[in-house]
Amino acid sequence: MFYIGIDVGGTTVKGIVIDKKGTCLAEDSSPTLKGEKIAEVIATLAERLISTVGKPKAQFAGIGIGCAGMIDAENGTVVFAGNLNIKSLPVAKLVEEKVKLPVKITNDANAAALGEAKFGAGKNYSDSILVTLGTGVGGGIVIGGKLFEGNKSAGAEIGHMVIERGGNKCTCGRRGCFEAYSSATALIKRTKWAMEEDAGSAMWQSCTSENVTGRTAFDYMDTDVSAREVVDWYVKYLACGLVNLANVFRPQVIMLGGGISGQGERLTIPLQNLLNKELFGGTAYAPVEVKTATLGSRAGALGAAALLFGD
């Protein structure tokens, strides 16, 4: 059997065909079109992938879609996707009618989590959480090899768990969310603040406010006290959120994705230490590992394909 995975982003729709082991048989992409046209884009891309593989359609189990926005997985509907100009579009049904294959859909963060769980850093575990450190803090939860999405797929909003009541303002309207401390956005903000506080710092000498990124503090942490402090600050809050997730879900592994996760062991080693120290009941009985995600931008399409794996 072959499995088609489609990752719908704001600018590009990526497609992949894999077998059950995750071996890639074809890969392709199309520019994103907004509104209802997205179903046409997905269907055309899927058909192109099928011809590239060159096998009869009956050998394809179906099409899995990971899409930005609020998704009703059970009904196959994109409930809301601001950057795709979509409000209540039955994408699964529309694509199914065009391609005549079963279609499943989930949100892009969940798809990436399933991808990492099946083929990436989580492939040796049945229970894993992907935490993506990007513009926001997103991610997904895999329990017993299956995505956990909550009622009407509205759960798994792990970035919107308050870890410091009354703290920094979050885009969701609450204060003190995990995302307001552990996103790349929060890290950049803190880095700029630290630069302004310490005009003698190497960061301040070398960067301008405009070219600060989520890497800046890490780049200077070995030579600059202010940069080191920013990294320590960031790691402490990130660890706090990860321990919360570990205590509540107790997965076997937490995987870090998104831009900041590129720091690898500079993040995972101190995070693992803090997590081991604070994990409820200690680490002897049911430890939780912290790892870097391995699939990068392909995680979403791979996980989308895995939506069709069944039990």
Q: Which of 218, 161, 164, 141 is nearest to 187 (CA)?
A: 218
- Residue 181 Cβ, how far from a second copy at the closest point, in Å? 9
Please list every residue from 105 through 164 that binds a second copy, using CB under 8 A.
126-127, 143, 148-152, 154-158, 160-164
Please list every residue from 65 through 94 that binds a second copy, using CB under 8 A.
70, 79
Work out which of 21, 51, 165, 211 binds a second copy, going by CB under 8 A: 165
| 310 binds a second copy, rule: CB under 8 A | no
Please, which residue, 187 or 245, has the CB nearer to a second copy?
Answer: 245
DSSP 167: -
CA dihedral 180, 131, 236, 259 (to 10 degrees): -80
DSSP 295: S
User: Which region, judged by CB under 8 A, interacts with a second copy, from 55-63, 101-109, 207-215, 247-255?
Assistant: 247-255
User: Which region, judged by CB under 8 A, interacts with a second copy, from 111-119, 168-176, 198-206, 300-308?
Assistant: 168-176
What's the angle, vertex CA 121, arms to CA 268 and CA 220, rounded to 5? 30
Please, which residue, 53 or 172, has the CB nearer to a second copy?
Answer: 172
User: Which region, judged by CB under 8 A, interacts with a second copy, from 34-42, 197-205, 279-287, 290-298?
Assistant: 279-287
The token duo for 294 is 């391995």
| 269 binds a second copy, rule: CB under 8 A | no
What contacts 24+ positions apart, CB below 8 Å, involve 154-161? Answer: 154/70, 156/109, 156/110, 158/129, 158/131, 158/241, 158/245, 159/183, 161/241, 161/244, 161/245
Question: Strand 128-133 to strand 137-143: parallel, antiparallel, or no bridges (unpaired)?
Answer: antiparallel
- Residue 186 Cβ, how far from a second copy at the closest point, in Å? 14
Helix (H) or strand (E) holding 185: helix 184-197
Q: Which of 117, 108, 73 is nearest to 300 (CA)?
A: 108
- Residue 86 Cβ, how far from a second copy at the closest point, in Å? 14
The token duo for 168 is 């920094």
- Residue 54 Cβ, how far from a second copy at the closest point, in Å? 40
User: Which region, judged by CB under 8 A, interacts with a second copy, from 34-42, 96-104, 240-248, 255-263?
Assistant: 240-248
User: Which region, judged by CB under 8 A, interacts with a second copy, from 183-191, 218-226, 276-284, 294-302?
Assistant: 276-284
Q: Which residues are CB-neighbours of 294 under 8 A, at least 6 positions away?
A: 116, 120, 121
Q: Which residue has the tokens 């995302």?
A: 179
The token duo for 21 is 């082991």
Size of the residue set binding a second copy (CB under 8 A): 44
| 276 binds a second copy, rule: CB under 8 A | no
User: Which region, judged by CB under 8 A, interacts with a second copy, from 25-33, 58-66, 184-192, 248-256?
Assistant: 248-256
Q: Which residues bind a second copy (CB under 8 A)?
A: 70, 79, 126-127, 143, 148-152, 154-158, 160-167, 172-174, 176, 237, 240, 243-245, 247-252, 278, 280-281, 285-286, 288
